[in-house]
Amino acid sequence: MRNRLAGLFWSLLFLAVPVLGVAVFAVAPSIDVWLPKDVSAHGKEIDSLFYFILALTGVVFIVTEMLLFWFIWKYDVAARGEEKATYIHGSHTLEVIWTIIPAVVMLFLAIYQMNAWADVKMRRPVMKPTVEVVARQFEWRLRYPGPDEELGTPDDLFLVNDLHVPVDEDVLVQLKSMDVLHSFFLPNLRIKQDAVPGMKIPVWFKATETGQYDLVCAELCGWGHYKMKGRITIESREDFDAWLEQKYREQEATQPNPQEDML
Amino acid sequence: MSTVTHPGPGDTTTVAPAGSAKPRPIAEFLSTYVFSKDHKVIGLQFLFSTLVWFLIGGLLALAVRWQVAWPWSDVPVLGKLFAQEGGQMSPEFYTMLFTMHATVMIFLVIIPILAGAFGNFLIPLMIGADDMAFPTLNMLSYWFMWPAFLAFGASFFVEGGAASSGWTSYPPLTTNPAASPGSGMGQTLWLIGLTFVGVSSMLGSVNYMTTIILMRAPGMTMFRLPMTIWAMFITALLQAFALPVLTAAGFMQLFDRSIGTGFFSPEGSIINNEMTGAGGGQPLLWQHLFWFYSHPAVYIMILPAMGMVSDIMTCFARKPLFGYRPMIYSVAGIAGLGFIVWGHHMFISGMNPALGMTFMVSTMMIALPSAVKTFNWLGTLWGGRIQFTTAMLFSISFVSMFIIGGLSGIFMAATPVDIFIHDTYFIVAHFHYVLFAGTAMGVWAGIYFWFPKMFGRTMNEFWGKVHFFLTFIFLNGTFFTMHILGAVGFPRRLADAYHYETFHHLQPMNAFMTYCAIGMVACQVIFAANFFWSMFYGPRAGRNPWNANGLEWTAPSPPGHGNFDVQPIVYRGPYEYSVPGCEKDHLMQTDPPLETAVAAAH
């Protein structure tokens, strides 16, 4: 009987894995440790894919961990008396089943993801860049093209860390780096793209709500990586234009093109 | 030979047979225990060295966790050692800590403990050989680790400190000394250390392949090999094919740093307000080359543990392995597919997004053999007579934890989802579930299981279980919570993320994880005490304390030089437990065949 207690103890320990595992994921959203608020057009799809995979893996997780628990409990040597272990080397049928089903599911999963991926990274809107973002240790340098919509002309507006974009419009960011790798991470817009020196990488999104959110560097870029912080302000077209105009006036009032040596 | 009680080769007589009654004792000691060519001694040398580095890596992890939980607060105890401003950590020190934590754990612990320690110790014993095919090469594979130990160790004390650009060593941060304090001498030493680890692995790999192919005992066909040996064999193949790429890339980076070759540097960069050199290179090239090795390497870091767990599980379930051949095919499948999935580390790196899509498909496919393995382990437990030994508990937990680590991988294989969780704590959770909760648990299972063979004594089971229980609880407390941090987007490698509005509320959760991490490291004291106490005072083990089937259990514990007292002859596979009609519940590989009548009846 004492031996059975040991079996009980260990099987309950392994039962705790699925029970507590599911509990953590169930409780997390209610204590606000969960996906941050999404304010992008494409984010819904990414989030729903996340939930889809969570549900799928959740089921597999619960089923396999419960089987593990059940086998440990049921086939504990103390519960088996004089009975010998089953002498079996495998099952061809089972192998085929548990090879084909996951294969089909995984292949489906891969194909199912492709459209969302293409939307975010491949189907680039035909437009001129809204803003050029040049990452450098440890700040985000921004350049708006100004009224002529061309980068590299005298009406360019230069800013640091204070990114503004219009709501409900396609935004095209031209992402560059001046020194090392960085990553342009907008958690609330489900956007992340490494900035690579020597490359001009297009990043696009459409914000659906106004507000202010974090811009985070997500690729190690040196000792000051943690403080490479920017803000993104999403505002209406009118506010955005007014802001651009005001910032341009401020720029002209101080000094001509303070950062014109910028790449 | 059967009376040899020392862990080393007791008989130097084979070396100097001509009745030299008094060989010089120091020379004898050196040739027996230090520059030994005996695979068992080399295996134990690897084991002790890697366990010491395991401790160092664990302490580095604690320092990392301290900063993540309580940024900029005084670090207790350790703070005095690196006190700059009253024991508080600087951000560059923090980046160095996590870089060296990963470097130490991967290159000085996991890879050498699996291939070097267990590979060396087990391969000849499990295939019935008296030693490795190339004993001198084998000795060199251990001694080539020492330049690496010294290079990595010394790099902590050079100007600017050790490497601090992450274990992935992405240029241009690493190629330009102006980019980061750790990119000076520390980075050069890092690359040199890496090269020596590579040389060591390559020597081992060639040796393992040759030994397994050529030196199996009579009757030991390839399909009678235990899973441990199959895993070691395929791991050796992976090493042999992938390592040259990393070595070449390492030299390219070294040249970029020392003579300005610019393989990985584009033109026209301005680092720290200074123009860089001519350039003409591409930072992404390094990522391709690095991951071409390092993705197969993650399988190098788990396949041998999978093999060991399969062997231990069959022994303590007293059942044949469920689906022996599918298990082998899935190891081979993981290894094969492992070469065409490296791009999943680079989904958001700026690599062609269409290529990302291709890598997503191959990555999803590699989940398949892993799933097959998991189902077969469950099948092995089904219908068994499960004995809850410490080794078995660690093995079961390997399966339980590998399920988590495997499933969380699917999130990151899905490219759209990866956009959000890439470089967050989700990936940190994933690889710690595979590497710590998987491989390290498998390593502990292996240590508890083969300890009697290594030292002739068994470890204490009670304290073994206490060690298991505490490690299991604390590891889940530390790593499971990382998944939901990742869901918030909490980025890895930030010295302080709480000044971001999105992450400022996560500090209490990180503090909880740090408490668990401290507990996890602290409870290893139990393991260390049990290990060393049992080495000298544990109950003596016979040849086959677990009633297991493998060839290693026919040899004396510990085996003398030459391993076996008679040439073992193999009659069957390694998993013949609970054979009907057989009195014992296990049939060793060397037991002569049962009467044909009994065999025919079934």
pLDDT digits (tens, 9 = 90+) for B168-185: 999 999 998 888 888 889
In chain B, how many domains are there?
A: 3
Question: pLDDT tens across A113-125, in order?
Answer: 999 999 999 999 9
C-alpha dist (Å) from residue A156 to A134, A167, B552: 14, 21, 75
Tokens of A153: 């002309």
What is the pairing mode between strands A170-177 and A131-136?
A: parallel
Do B376 and B354 fall into the same domain?
yes
How many other CB atoms are there within 10 angstroms of residue A34's CB atom?
Answer: 14
The range of the structural domain enclosing residue B190 comes to 42-266+278-300
Closest CA to B397 of B480, B468, B293: B468
DSSP state of B100: H
Do B282 and B310 fall into the same domain?
no
Chain B residue numbers with beta carbons less than 8 Å from the beta carbon of A133 are: none
AA identity, residue A208: T
Do B367 and B463 fall into the same domain?
yes
d(CA B510, CA B506): 6
CA-based angle B188:B269:B422, to the nearest 5? 75
pLDDT at B152 over 60: yes
Do B504 and B548 fall into the same domain?
no
How many other CB atoms are there within 10 angstroms of residue B20's CB atom?
Answer: 11
**Best B288, B352, B368 residue to mutate vs chain A (most A CBs within 10 Å):** B368
Asked if B417 lies within 8 A of A76 by C-beta distance, the reply is no
pLDDT at B21 over 60: no
Does some domain include residue B417? yes
Closest residue in B to A34 (Cα) is B488
Do B405 and B372 fall into the same domain?
yes
DSSP state of B422: T
Does some domain include residue B19? no
- The model carries a pTM of 0.93
AA identity, residue B306: M
CATH number at residue B451: 1.20.210.10
Which of B284, B399, B400 lies at the smallest CB-CB distance from A196? B284
The domain boundary, picked from B469, B500, B528, lies at B528
* Res B37: pLDDT: 92
pLDDT at B96 over 60: yes
φ, ψ of residue B270 to 5 degrees: the values are: -120, 110
Q: How sure is the predictor about A258, in pLDDT bands with cuts at 50, 70 and 90?
A: low
Q: Give the distance from residue B28's alpha carbon to the nearest chain A alpha carbon, in angstroms.
A: 48
Q: Give the distance from residue A155's alpha carbon to the nearest chain B alpha carbon, in angstroms.
A: 24
Residue B119 makes CB contacts below 8 A (sequence gap 6+) with B43, B204, B208, B232, B235, B236, B304
Asked if A223 lies within 8 A of B361 by C-beta distance, the reply is no
CA-based angle B239:B243:B247, to the nearest 5? 160
Asked if A72 lies within 8 A of B386 by C-beta distance, the reply is yes
Question: pLDDT tens across B59-93, in order?
Answer: 999 999 999 999 988 877 666 666 555 678 889 99
Estimate the crossing angle of helix B303-317 against helix B353-381, to 10 degrees.
20
* Res A108: pLDDT: 95
d(CA B23, CA B31): 11
Alpha-carbon B370 to chain mean position: 17
pLDDT at B20 over 50: no
Question: pLDDT tens across B286-336, in order?
Answer: 999 999 999 999 999 999 999 999 999 999 999 999 999 999 999 999 999
* Res A13: pLDDT: 97
Identify the structural domains of chain A with CATH numbers, from first to last. Answer: 2-78+89-122 (no CATH), 131-254 (2.60.40.420)
Alpha helices in B75-130 (DSSP H): 78-81, 91-103, 111, 120-127
pLDDT at A39 over 60: yes
Does some domain include residue B407? yes
Asked if B372 lies within 8 A of A88 by C-beta distance, the reply is no
pLDDT at A1 over 50: no
Do B449 and B588 fall into the same domain?
no
* Res B30: pLDDT: 82
Chain B residue numbers with beta carbons less than 8 Å from the beta carbon of A224 are: 91
SS3 B80: helix
Q: Does B494 touch chain A (CB under 8 A)?
A: yes
Q: Give the end-to-end CA distance of chain A in Å, rounded to a whole number.
A: 77
Which of A21, A68, A75 lies at the smallest CB-CB distance from B384? A75
**Best B502, B513, B575 residue to mutate vs chain A (most A CBs within 10 Å):** B502
SS3 B321: coil
d(CA B347, CA B339): 16
Do B384 and B517 fall into the same domain?
yes
Asked if A7 lies within 8 A of B483 by C-beta distance, the reply is no
AA identity, residue B534: S
- Length of chain A equals 263
Q: Which residue has the tokens 């009980």?
A: A8
| 3-class secondary structure per residue, B257-292 | HHHCCCCCCCCCCEECCEECCCCCCCHHHHHHHHHH
Q: Is B493 exposed, middle or buried (0-12, 13-18, 19+ CB in 10 A)?
A: buried
d(CA B136, CA B214): 17
Residue B9 makes CB contacts below 8 A (sequence gap 6+) with B32, B36, B38, B40, B41, B560, B561, B562
Closest CA to A65 of A10, A18, A7: A18
Asked if A33 lies within 8 A of B509 by C-beta distance, the reply is yes
d(CA B308, CA B226): 9
Chain B residue numbers with beta carbons less than 8 Å from the beta carbon of A56 are: 410
Using left for φ > 0, alpha for ψ between -120 and 50, and beta otherwise, residue B128 falls in: left
d(CA B59, CA B595): 57
C-alpha dist (Å) from residue B474 to A16, A33, B72, B131, B478: 13, 21, 25, 39, 6
* Res A255: pLDDT: 66
Q: Give the distance from residue A3's alpha carbon to the nearest chain B alpha carbon, in angstroms.
A: 10
Tokens of B28: 């004898």
Tokens of B162: 């050790």
Do B123 and B138 fall into the same domain?
yes
Do B287 and B140 fall into the same domain?
yes
AA identity, residue B284: L
C-alpha dist (Å) from residue B94 to A148, B163, B511, B513: 45, 11, 17, 18
Do B240 and B339 fall into the same domain?
no
Question: pLDDT tens across A197-221, in order?
Answer: 999 999 999 999 999 999 999 999 9
Q: Does B155 touch chain A (CB under 8 A)?
A: no
Does some domain include residue B6? no
